[in-house]
Amino acid sequence: MFYRSKTIRGLLEIVPGKRRLGAYRFLPIFFCIGGVMEWIMINVRIGKETFYDVYRRKRSEREYQQRIADGLVVLDQPAAK
């Protein structure tokens, strides 16, 4: 598919290091993209939460549910009237 597209082939040829690094010449680009994504997940708030706020909350909820299932936590029963 890509070998027929002159536009994509031209864009791939722009990236230096083809002879020395081969396909690995794209690795720094993807490394930087991953770093930017990580920074966004840590620092950018959508609403009132970041990605890691949601992750920590969900993990805590799962651990609590597991403790309940294991019988380590006893839920308070309302007193009979």
Residue-wise pLDDT tens digits, 10-43: 888 888 888 888 888 899 999 999 999 999 999 9
Q: What is the model's pTM? A: 0.58
| Backbone φ and ψ of 14, nearest 5° | -65, -35
Return d(Cα 81, Cα 24) in angstroms, integer: 72
- Tens of pLDDT along 50-59? 988 999 999 9
**Count of all residues that appear for the chain in the document:** 81
Q: Is residue 4 part of a domain?
A: no
Question: 3-state class of 49 per DSSP?
Answer: strand
**Residue 78: pLDDT above 70?**
no
Domain that holds residue 34: 12-76
Residue 33 has a pLDDT of 97
For residue 29, is it within any domain? Answer: yes
Residue 1 forms part of a structural domain: no
What total of structural domains would you count in the chain?
Answer: 1
Per-residue model confidence (pLDDT) at position 35 = 97
